[in-house]
Chains A and B, each alone.
Chain A
Amino acid sequence: MGKYLRKKLIIYLITFFFAVTLDWAIPRFMPGDPISMLLARFNGLENSSDIVRSTFTKSFGLDQPLITQYFGFWKSLFTGDLGISIYLYPKKVSEIISQALIYDILLLLPAILLSWIVGNKLGARSGVNKKVDNIMMPFFYVLTSSPYFWFAVLLVFFFGVKLQIFPVNGAYSNIMIPGFNIQFILDFLYHWVLPFLSLFMVMLGGWAIGMRNMIIYEMGSNYSKYMESLGSSEKLIRKYAFRNAILPQVTGLALQLGTIVAGAFTTEIVFSYPGIGYILLKALLNQDYFLIQGCFLFIVICVLVANFLVDIVYMLIDPRVRFSFSGEV
């Protein structure tokens, strides 16, 4: 049990190290010398030029040897200093990200968990019933084939523009001041519905298909056949099959996180929802490299933490891992 977690943890640490190195190396070694291009871009500005230049020189440490730059990068990282945004000057990158984070959590966490639960339930239904399967599967396939943002656009068009039931912009109304009061919460939820729904639906398709295939596989497995031979009801066999089919779905949760993050970003862009994705878009449009780097690191850290949580859950539900009978999951 400990071995399993230790192995995972080592991989995550190496991954983190690798990601930070990559984050540091790419602006320095990419063809086309992005840093000098960036500097050149600010040469024309009057006031900010000097500040930007000094920020750059300090952060990138361009006058120092590479190895010093590299260690400097790590040092500033551990002090939480991710640099200063150019586009939202003079806000700190870490500050911008932590402000955006709450919206991501409130949007993504329910969408992921609910779509996972509902998708698994529907997929299991589909897997054991041919009629349900024939009706539901095409629907699931279309959902999982649609790009997240396109589905968001569809929802915006029908519910926002045509029917005008839901707002399609931002996380709350412009006149509202964020705060913990009932008015703001209601307004927030009102804005939350469409982005949530669009993420939820697209993810739902993928989970349902995965579960459907797994449950068919498990229902055809030898232990199911043995139970059938001993006169078990279909209900009990299904229960057993579901218990086993859910395992790869938990692993899938970790594997899909990357894709989900990408989907969430584009969805946020459609709704101008002030999460990391939206910030990232602004950063890209304004070539705000500190912010881009910060977002990258932050996404990597979040995904690593989420992966680790999934690993712990997996360990609790799969006895094979607990008794370390399988090295790799």
Chain B
Amino acid sequence: MSFIDKLKKNDNLYFALRNKKVIIGAVIFLALLITALIGPIIAPYDYEEFAGAPYANPSFQHLMGTSIFGRDVFSQVLYGLRSTFVVGFVGGTLGTVIGLIIGFFAGYRSGSMLDEILMMMTNILLVIPTIALLIILSAYLPYRGVITQSMIIGFTSWPWVARAVRSQTLSLRNKEFVNLSRISGASTFKIIKDDIAYNMFSYVFMVYILQFAGAILTSVSLDFIGLGPTKGISLGLIMQDAVNWNAIQLGMWWWAILPGVVLTVLVTSLYFINTGLDEVFNPTLREM
């Protein structure tokens, strides 16, 4: 049976579409994603443009007010949201994929030398505080774009994925159907692809959502410390700017707080989808 066929037969989609948390999370997430995609079209101003009087409160002209330099915060947020999605997507995908590959092989060949080496690597990277690594890497990179930042985040965030995937593979590996494939002479790759990967699909999907959210949160922290993209705009950079220019002390809450609201709502929506899916895939958590 192919991957798609198996998915179609799956009840999970049915349950997912009846789970409130998944629905609420997905609607918010998609709304923000669409907003980000069409951002440049609906943005009333450019993010670096002098758009009107500085210090302006939110109004119909400037939905989220203006910054101390007279820039339109709403337009900045629209553009910044794009970077946020890019970081989440690139960083999250990279972290998940690397973790998956390493976790799969370590788990499938558990007890072997390969497993020992991979796990040693994973455990080492797991204890090194990622932020310290990111700081030292970013600090010495004179020019950083959004993609560079995402890749650095992706390359440092895989270890816990690898560990989780390894233990999942380990428990699946000893299941009856995998043994059946093995004695019928299927290749390692085929077993991993058909038997293990399919059965881990739900699990990995949830891991991906968490990685997506994690990459976003890490990137805003980096932006805020001053290690964000050297060009362009992101939600973290807007807030860094705001705090650096004492926006809060000046009472400009729209500049310092609103971009964070958008970001928090985005990350919350991801967590909601994740928890909802957990209930879907995990019958013991399912609400009847």
Count contacts on A: residues with CB < 8 A to the other chain: 66
B158 / chain A contacts, CB cutoff of 8 Å:
none
In the complex, which of the residues A11, A153, A259, A303 contacts B248, with contact meaning CB atoms closer than 8 Å?
A153
- Secondary structure at the B interface, as helix, strand, loop or mixed, is helix
A87 / chain B contacts, CB cutoff of 8 Å:
none
A34 / chain B contacts, CB cutoff of 8 Å:
140, 142
Q: Is A30 a contact partner of B141 (Cβ separation < 8 A)?
A: yes
CB nearest neighbor in A for B266: A145
CB-defined interface of B235-256 with A at 8 Å, one 1/0 digit per residue? 0100100010000110101001
CB nearest neighbor in B for A154: B257
B272 / chain A contacts, CB cutoff of 8 Å:
141
Question: Is A144 at the interface (CB under 8 A from chain B)?
Answer: yes
Question: Is B183 at the interface (CB under 8 A from chain A)?
Answer: no
A32 / chain B contacts, CB cutoff of 8 Å:
140-143
B257 / chain A contacts, CB cutoff of 8 Å:
150, 153-154, 157
User: Assuming the A-B contacts A147-B217, A147-B224, are A265 and B129 also in contact, with contact meaning beta carbons closer than 8 angstroms in the complex?
Assistant: no
User: Assuming the A-B contacts A11-B123, A150-B263, A281-B226, are A157 and B256 also in contact, with contact meaning beta carbons closer than 8 angstroms in the complex?
Assistant: yes
In the complex, which of the residues A216, A277, A328 contacts B285, with contact meaning CB atoms closer than 8 Å?
A216
Q: How far is the CB of B277 from chain A (nearest CB, A)?
A: 13
Complexed CA–CA distance, A65 and B165 (Å): 43
User: Assuming the A-B contacts A142-B264, A150-B263, A153-B243, are A262 and B221 also in contact, with contact meaning beta carbons closer than 8 angstroms in the complex?
Assistant: yes
Complexed CA–CA distance, A262 and B138 (Å): 14
* Residues 99 to 113 of chain B near chain A (Cβ within 8 Å): none
Question: Is A146 at the interface (CB under 8 A from chain B)?
Answer: yes
CB nearest neighbor in A for B217: A147
Q: Is B284 a contact partner of A15 (Cβ separation < 8 A)?
A: no
Question: Is B199 at the interface (CB under 8 A from chain A)?
Answer: no
Question: Is A22 at the interface (CB under 8 A from chain B)?
Answer: yes
Q: Is B160 a contact partner of A255 (Cβ separation < 8 A)?
A: yes
User: Assuming the A-B contacts A161-B248, A284-B227, A296-B132, are A147 and B221 also in contact, with contact meaning beta carbons closer than 8 angstroms in the complex?
Assistant: yes
Question: Is A285 at the interface (CB under 8 A from chain B)?
Answer: yes
Question: Is A163 at the interface (CB under 8 A from chain B)?
Answer: no
B139 / chain A contacts, CB cutoff of 8 Å:
284, 287, 289, 292
Q: Is B260 a contact partner of A303 (Cβ separation < 8 A)?
A: no
Chain B interface size, under 10 / 10 to 19 / 20 to 34 / 35 or more: 35 or more
Question: Is B120 at the interface (CB under 8 A from chain A)?
Answer: yes
Question: Is B124 at the interface (CB under 8 A from chain A)?
Answer: yes
A30 / chain B contacts, CB cutoff of 8 Å:
140-141
* Residues 240 to 265 of chain A near chain B (Cβ within 8 Å): 254-255, 257-259, 261-263, 265
Q: How far is the CB of A42 from chain B (nearest CB, A)?
A: 16
Complexed CA–CA distance, A288 and B59 (Å): 42
B19 / chain A contacts, CB cutoff of 8 Å:
none
Question: Is B267 at the interface (CB under 8 A from chain A)?
Answer: yes
CB nearest neighbor in B for A283: B139
Question: Is A156 at the interface (CB under 8 A from chain B)?
Answer: yes
Q: Is B127 a contact partner of A12 (Cβ separation < 8 A)?
A: yes
Complexed CA–CA distance, A281 and B223 (Å): 11
Q: Is A307 a contact partner of B127 (Cβ separation < 8 A)?
A: yes
Q: Is A153 a contact partner of B256 (Cβ separation < 8 A)?
A: yes
Question: Is B42 at the interface (CB under 8 A from chain A)?
Answer: no
* Residues 136 to 155 of chain B near chain A (Cβ within 8 Å): 136-137, 139-143
- Beyond A277-B225, A303-B132, 6 extra complex contacts between A and B, CB < 8 Å: A11-B120, A18-B128, A142-B268, A149-B220, A209-B271, A258-B131
**25 A/B residue pairs, CB under 8 Å, sorted by A:** A11-B120, A18-B128, A19-B128, A30-B140, A32-B141, A137-B275, A141-B271, A141-B272, A145-B213, A145-B265, A146-B264, A147-B221, A147-B260, A149-B220, A150-B260, A150-B263, A154-B260, A157-B253, A209-B271, A255-B126, A257-B129, A258-B130, A261-B129, A284-B227, A303-B128
The 7 closest A-B pairs by CB, nearest first: A150-B260, A262-B131, A258-B129, A145-B267, A145-B268, A30-B140, A299-B132
